[in-house]
Structure 1
Amino acid sequence: MRHTWRWFGPNDRVSVDDMLQAGVQGVVTALHHLPTGEIWSPEQIALRQAQLAAMRDGAPSGLEWEMVESLPVSEQIKTQTGDWRDHVSNWIASMRNLRAAGIRVICYNFMPVLDWTRTDLEWRRPNGARCMRFDLIDFAAFDIHILERPGAAQDFPEDVRDAAARRFADMDDATRQQLAGNVVFGLPGAAEHLTMADVRDLLQTYAPVTDAVLRRHFHDFLEQVAPVAQDLGMRLCCHPDDPPFPLLGLPRVMSTEADFAERMAAVDLPANGITLCSGSLGARHDNDLPGMMRRLGDRVHFLHLRNVRRDSDTVPASFFEDEHLSGQTDMVALIDAILAEEARRRTAGRDDWRIPMRPDHGQDILDDIGRGGQPGYPAIGRLKGLAELRGVELALSRNHRAA
């Protein structure tokens, strides 16, 4: 695997120097400050590349912008409303500009409204570490009693509704505001941060967008962008839904292996690929991550390796972001499947045989606590995860070399 690291730009509390000292081989970033739907100009792309190229003291870092995460797909594209066709054209123009700058892989998602959803961004673990958590009862309290979404109560089982009502009643105003802020945190590092009014307005725009409609709109998008990516020699990789089950009455189209297979078959080109995120997909008990890697590995263009622990095997379920080698995904088996796919690609002569990976998220530990970094993206917690993942990779790679 090629070890990469997500960086949110010059305002990120984790610096270029920090990344370099962590031993990463490449950087995953995006132009988070640009509004969704705008063209990423050659000048803006070059500026970000220059920012990565230097350490604090001006010495060359040797790091390069290797992958984009994310080039946002606007809500207009997902709903096919307003100037969505212009947004698709701008997305393609941005893709061309990125390729001209030497960048060949773009991660994106097709989740309605929110990139990811958690109810607690600093959940305390018994050892004092902090992590992100999705609590189904808290989310139901938000959806039913804070957002007051019409029909929300019908989306939860009776026991969850009753527990949510009790929990909401026990919350003070500050706790309710904190919960709302956590749920609608919005796009990580992006220019937009959603208010409650924004969420209500966006939900209204999705009223006519059923699961089948969103799938059709996704396929329409792929039919326009994937052939261009193929011609440019680029790889597109869609990130799964996070969490991988319906929320806020919105459709989900990238939550299971069947979803991934259907999206790949819709536009059957090598450029139309997958970001295999073990944390997002692991929030469902019925997602077999090592098996998905074995069966879909030909189209996996990017890996997010992290782990979660579910409170139950229901769908949906509460979960928290565990340490990288803990949780309920067998990370050793998953990395073994990844190395087998890389060996197969290398034998086939593919130039993309080494799959880029980043240690996704991480628990806040040691000096991460109080640093005020991007939720889920601590320096030391990710460094610990990367070191553990490297150790597993090194141990297993000897077996694959021998094979």
Structure 2
Amino acid sequence: MTQAGSPAQTPPRKQNLALAALALGGFTIGTTEFATMGILTNIADGLGVSIPTAGHAITAYALGVVVGAPVIAVLTARMSRSTLVAWLMGAYAVANLMSALAPSMEVLILGRFIAGLPHGVFFGVGAVVGTAVVGQAKRGHAISMMLGGLTIANVVGVPLSSWVGTHLGWQAAFVIVGVLGFVALAALIALLPKVAPEPGANPRSELAALKNGRLWAMFLAAAIGFGGMFAVYSYVKPLVMFEAGMAESSVPFVLALFGLGMTAGTFFAGRLMDINVVRTVITGFITTSVSLVFLGVVGSNIPLILCALFAIGFTSQLLALPLQGLLMDLSPKAPSLGAALCHSALNTANANGAFLGGLFIAWEFGYRSLAWLGLGLTVLGFVLVLAFLQRKKPRDLEALIESAPTE
């Protein structure tokens, strides 16, 4: 698959540099994806709209991911995987600079939709490239490194964007991400080995993978179940300010704490999914549910709210990483599409969580109600996963538990 030689022939230093370039790309995308949560009140004030209306920018980005992932993955099936990753990062950088110029909420929503289009394919194809670099046996490590960049963005990039949005205006946050995108583009061009598309890959073979009913069953479970985390995280800034009474100046610290949880969860999940993908998915659903219950019962106690947010960040990644691996396994002849569909599913969850959370706030249920909304979505997704597994014959279920690729 890779034209740069097998993983065994690729020196460890070059493997690490390639993964670092992918991680930088993940950092860039993670910064702008989650930065909107940290500058949501600034966008609302700057454009003269309500917080729930400003939340539509989050929904629009997520919908861009949902639309862009399968469409771009199918149309670019024959393109070099490493070349495609570079093109996607370039488009991402330009789109974020365009978002910074938006004069109204309507234009910003359009800009965020366009910025979301390359997101899912970048991570989907990046997972294939990373796997080609280090080998199938270390797939979990490769994916965790790339997505580790996304979660580290929540420790550094998102808090910084929140600070910039508060002191220099929300537009400046998108400008910084656009510039960072061009830096990531240069790293990807310089450090990635040449990785060819799957043998025989073409738009028809990619579309054929969409006929797999099991793929769509897991897509639906992820699209609903992961919405629980986003119902909370989309409104984390007003949650800690209005529910816990924390000052706006403390929000970057809260975002960094959430990001630390995501980062720790990402690398832990990478190790777990290399052992067993399906069991890691189940563990993620259960632990995320427990974390959301914890948030719902702690009231306005600041230390406990912070602990709950760290826990939600950690457990959510026990769900996100193995879901991507499982969807790749369920589309063995189109792994780029399967991985990209995972990000479509997760961003459908993002859109669901942000939209439903906005409704709960508009209906004046209070910000703590977001935890219970999140719990409901997570449990529903878990029920769908269990129903999916129960439908499998014993032999098929054993294959899934052992993470064997399926047709």
Q: TM-score, normalised by structure 2?
A: 0.23
Q: TM-score, normalised by structure 1?
A: 0.24
Larger RCO: 1 or 2 (CA < 8 Å, sep 6+): 2
